[in-house]
Each structure stands twice: as C-alpha cells, then as structure tokens.
Amino acid sequence: MHIPLPRKLAASLLLACLSCTAIAQQPAPETAPARDDSLYRALGAEEGVARLVEALLLRLYADARIAFLFAETDRANLARLIREQFCHEAGGPCTYSGRTMLESHSGLGLKQKEFDAFVEDFINAMEDVKLPYRTQNRMLRIFAPMRAEVIGQ
Ligand code: HEM
C-alpha cells in the first residue's frame, strides 16, 4: 500500500516522539555510569589487588632505606587502606576510606630519595606477582603524579 509522504513523516515523527518520551521518563540512574574497570581486572580483581599489596608491604617493611618510617604504623590497617586505594584507582568497586595523600604523608619528611625507594619496591612487588609490563605501566601512570603530594611535606 502506498502511504503518502506526509503520513509517513507523521508516523516517523510520532515514533521518534514516543521514544523521546520513553527516554525522558526513565528515572535518573541511581549509580554513577559504569567505570572502566579494565585495570582492576588486569590486576586480578580483589584477590590480585590483595596479593599485590601484600607483596608491596613485604618489600617496604624489608627495605632498610625506608622501613623505619612504618615503625609506628598499624600494618593491617595500612594494607586495608592501600587495597582500597589501588582497587578504587584501578576502576574497581571500592571506596577509599583513608586520609588524603597530603595528610597521611605530611610530617614524614619524605624526599626524592625515599620516593625512589618506594617506587623501586612497588615495581619489584608488581614483578613479584608477575604483572605484565603494560599493567605495571598503567599503575605507575596513576600513582607517579601523587609524588607532589607525598614528598616535601
Ligand atoms: C604514590 C606513592 C604513595 C602512595 C599511593 C601511598 C599510599 C599510602 C596510603 C593509602 C596510606 C594510608 C593513608 C592513611 O593512613 O589514611 C599511606 C600511609 C603511609 N605511607 Fe604512603 N604512599 C605513597 C608513598 C609513600 C612513600 C614514598 C613513603 C615512604 C618512603 C610512604 C610511607 C607511608 C607511611 C609511613 C604511611 C603511614 C603513615 C601513618 O602511619 O600515619 N608512602 N600511604
């Protein structure tokens, strides 16, 4: 059957309008849009993050250049906070409940030397748990810029 153009147009306008209304009537999403969790998954999700943080703390607490800085620190609590932070920063389903980097590192008097030691331990820890270079680099790209908040405080 031949539908005259104006009716065709009206039909498609009506359809378009109906879908507009359908979209407009959808309730606002209650959760934030899906995050890119590819780095979190590359780390091995919850278990992988826990393994990495344990490897990092083993390295830090055994590193004579900086271990003394953790003498007064509750290790289990630090591990929990770093797990939360890594998970969150990597796009995982976690909330970081610790202090800001500025707050938690002020008063420690950290300099470039200590920062370098920490980064070396971090890279070795990522090697310990056999993360591929690409994943290591993605982690470093996130955490390296925090240098300015951590040193010279
Ligand atoms: C980008 C680099 C770093 C990240 C992502 C990081 C992450 C963290 C986190 C999440 C906390 C727990 C915060 C809280 O207590 O609320 C923390 C505490 C701490 N960090 Fe770092 N950190 C970094 C660099 C360093 C460096 C370079 C050192 C020393 C060499 C260091 C030494 C410490 C110490 C000693 C504490 C415990 C402070 C306390 O017990 O009050 N951090 N760090």
Q: What is the DSSP string of 38-61?
A: HHHHHHTHHHHHHHHHHHHHHHHH
User: For 130, left (φ over 0), alpha (ψ -120 to 50), or beta?
Assistant: left
81 CA: nearest ligand 1 atom: 10
**Helices and strands (H, E) in the chain, number of each type:** 8, 0
Ligand 1: residues whose CB is within 6 Å? 66, 69-70, 73, 78, 81-82, 85, 98-99, 104-105, 108, 110, 114-115, 117-118, 143, 146, 150
Two structure tokens written together for 152 = 């010279």
CA-closest candidate to residue 83, choices 97, 103, 69, 73: 97
- Ligand 1 atom closest to 118 (CA): 27
Query: Going residue by residue through the chain (153 aa), what tens digit of pLDDT does each one get?
Result: 454 555 554 444 433 433 444 444 555 556 667 789 999 999 999 999 999 999 999 999 999 999 999 999 999 999 999 999 999 999 999 999 999 999 999 999 999 999 999 999 999 999 999 999 999 999 999 999 999 999 987
pTM of the predicted protein model: 0.83
Q: Among 85, 101, 113, 147, which residue has the most ligand 1 atoms within 8 Å of its CB, making it the best to mutate?
A: 101
